[in-house]
Structure 1
Amino acid sequence: MIKTICYISDSIEHESLDKLKTLYLKAKANNHKYNITGVLIYKNQNFLQVLEGDEKAVNTTFEKIRFDRRHRNVFEVINTTIDERIFQDYNFGFTIIDNQRGIKNLYDYLEWLRTAENKLANKVITMVENFIDKK
């Protein structure tokens, strides 16, 4: 079984593109080290992240995130186990939603995921779509 946690949070400051890239590269390296897959999305000073992997690794990573001072209002949306990874082929992607191309690329991936007919995957897809459509 694979542990998955999905959360949303507020950034305490407006993140520059350079800061976001640095944050993403660090997260990607750490997640690769612990075999965690998922997606990290930034839009309008908000983050949405899905983490998938070994239960201990995901729980430890999420605890670090919860106490990271760059976030506030960390809200855990999903915390469960799944049979297989939802974002296995996304290679811990990072999307900054600041233009139509970013939105289209993410929607294309979510549509591809939807064909899996996995109830949890579809729940995550709906949540991600709601996140990127807000504001």
Structure 2
Amino acid sequence: MLKTICYISDSSEYESIESIKKIYLKAKQNNLKRNITGVLIFHNGNFLQVLEGVEEHVDLTYDKIRFDTRHRNIIKVINNTIEQRIFEDYNFGFSIVKSSQEFNELNEYLNWLKQADNKVANKVILMVENFIGVLT
């Protein structure tokens, strides 16, 4: 069974671009091993991440994140089973969004997804759009 979790959190310290890249590369490596797709957005000390994949793998990954000391104030905002992945075709499955161009590309992808009119996908899209709206 497939599942998606979307959470937001504060960084425990203000991260440099280099430390964010290290976090991203490690997350990407671990998520590829578990066939987890999604999106990771970091801005002004805040994370928004969508994880999607096999339920056990997503839950295990989220539990590791919950106990990662680099995160504070973690709030799980979406925790649903899904019929299909939302971000499977987005930028090789897992991405960190850090520039205006990447925000625009993500917005284009989200607009494309809206056409599917999937209830869970629409909840995830709204969360990401709201987070991006804070950024622009």
Length-normalised TM-score, structure 2: 0.92
Distance 1:49 1:132 in 2: 12
Distance 2:35 2:13 in 1: 29
> Displacement, 1:103?
2.1
Deviations 1:66-109 (A, max 9, x none): 0000000000001110100011112111112xx43232122111
Give the number of equivalent residue pairs. Answer: 133
Query: 1:74 is matched with which residue?
Result: 74
Q: Does 1:57 align with 2:57?
A: yes
Structure 1 letter corresponding to 2:96 = F
Distance 1:3 1:131 in 2: 21
> Displacement, 1:129?
0.8
Query: 1:30 is matched with which residue?
Result: 30
In the alignment, structure 2 segments of 5+ residues that lack a partner are none
Structure 1 letter corresponding to 2:5 = I
> Displacement, 1:47?
0.3
Query: 2:42 is matched with which residue?
Result: 42
Q: Does 1:131 align with 2:131?
A: yes
Distance 1:65 1:36 in 2: 14
In the alignment, structure 1 segments of 5+ residues that lack a partner are none
Deviations 1:1-31 (A, max 9, x none): 3111110000011111111111111101100
Query: 2:96 is matched with which residue?
Result: 94
Length-normalised TM-score, structure 1: 0.93
Query: 2:6 is matched with which residue?
Result: 6
Query: 1:103 is matched with which residue?
Result: 103
Range with greater deviation from structure 2 (21-30 or 109-118):
109-118
Contact 2:80–2:120 (Cα < 8 Å) also in 1: no
